[in-house]
C-alpha cells in the first residue's frame, strides 16, 4: 500500500528527482532497465504504466510543464519523465492498444539523447531518442485504471 504524501512533500520529492541527474543515481546502484533499443510497436512496463515506442509522427498535444506521467498524489503515482525528455499531452492510443486503453502523456526524447523514467518504488527505465506514448493498466473486470 502506498503512503499518502502532502502536496508539499510530493512537490519536494519531485523536485529532488528532477534536480538529481541519472548518472548520480547509477552510482547509487539503482536498477535501471535499458530500453534504448526499443523499436516502434514495442513497450516496456513500469508498475501500472506502459511506455510504448511509437512512430515519431504519432499525434500528441501541447507540451506540459508537469513531468509526472500518472495521475495522482501518492508515491505510487510518481512515474516521472526526466530531462531531456519533453512531455506532451497524450492525443491518441497506439494503434495496437485496446480501444478503451487509458491514454497518458506522450514523451519525446531528442535525437542523440537518452532519458530516464524514474519512480521511487520501481526500476527506472532508460529510453533512447524517439517518441513514446504512455498508457495505464486497467482492471479487466471493472475497466477502471489501476493505480500503484
Q: What is the DSSP string of 95-144?
A: TTS-TT-EEEEEEEEEEEEEEEEE-SSS-EEEEEEEEEEEEE-B-TTT-P
**Most confident option among 75-84, 102-111, 116-125:** 102-111
- On the question of pLDDT at 26 being above 90, the answer is no
Residue 146 lies in a domain: no
C-alpha distances (whole Å) from 148 to each of 21, 96, 113 are 24, 24, 29
**What's the average model confidence in pLDDT over 71-93?**
90
Calpha distance 57→133 (Å, rounded):
11
Residue 29: how many CA atoms within 13 Å on its side-chain side? Answer: 0
Q: For residue 142, what pLDDT is reported?
A: 47
Residue 24 lies in a domain: yes
Q: For residue 100, what pLDDT is reported?
A: 81
Residue 1 lies in a domain: no
**What's the average model confidence in pLDDT over 109-122?**
93
**Percent share of the chain, pLDDT over 70:** 74
123 touches 32 (CB < 8 A): yes
**What's the average model confidence in pLDDT over 96-116?**
93
Residue 142 lies in a domain: no
Kindly indicate the confidence band of residue 15, based on its pLDDT and cuts at 50, 70 and 90: low
Residue 87 lies in a domain: yes
**What's the average model confidence in pLDDT over 112-116?**
96
Residue 147 lies in a domain: no
Calpha distance 46→136 (Å, rounded):
10
Residue 2 lies in a domain: no
| Structural domain span for residue 44 | 7-136
Count of domains for the chain: 1
Residue 65 lies in a domain: yes
Place of cell 498508457: 135
Kindly indicate the confidence band of residue 122, based on its pLDDT and cuts at 50, 70 and 90: confident
Higher-confidence residue of 96 and 145: namely 96
Amino acid at each position: 500500500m502506498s503512503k499518502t504524501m502532502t502536496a508539499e512533500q510530493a512537490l519536494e520529492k519531485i523536485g529532488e528527482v528532477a534536480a538529481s541527474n541519472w548518472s548520480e543515481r547509477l552510482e547509487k546502484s539503482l536498477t535501471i532497465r535499458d530500453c534504448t533499443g526499443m523499436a516502434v510497436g514495442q513497450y516496456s512496463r513500469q508498475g501500472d504504466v506502459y511506455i510504448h515506442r511509437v512512430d515519431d509522427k504519432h499525434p500528441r498535444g501541447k507540451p506540459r510543464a508537469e513531468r509526472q506521467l500518472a495521475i495522482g498524489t501518492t508515491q505510487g503515482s510518481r512515474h516521472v519523465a526526466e530531462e531531456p525528455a519533453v512531455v506532451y499531452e497524450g492525443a491518441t492510443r497506439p494503434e495496437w492498444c485496446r480501444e478503451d486503453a487509458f491514454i497518458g502523456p506522450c514523451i519525446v526524447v531528442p535525437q542523440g539523447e537518452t532519458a530516464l523514467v524514474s519512480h521511487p518504488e520501481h526500476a527506472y527505465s532508460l529510453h533512447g531518442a524517439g517518441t513514446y506514448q504512455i498508457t495505464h493498466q486497467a482492471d479487466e473486470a471493472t475497466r477502471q485504471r489501476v493505480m500503484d
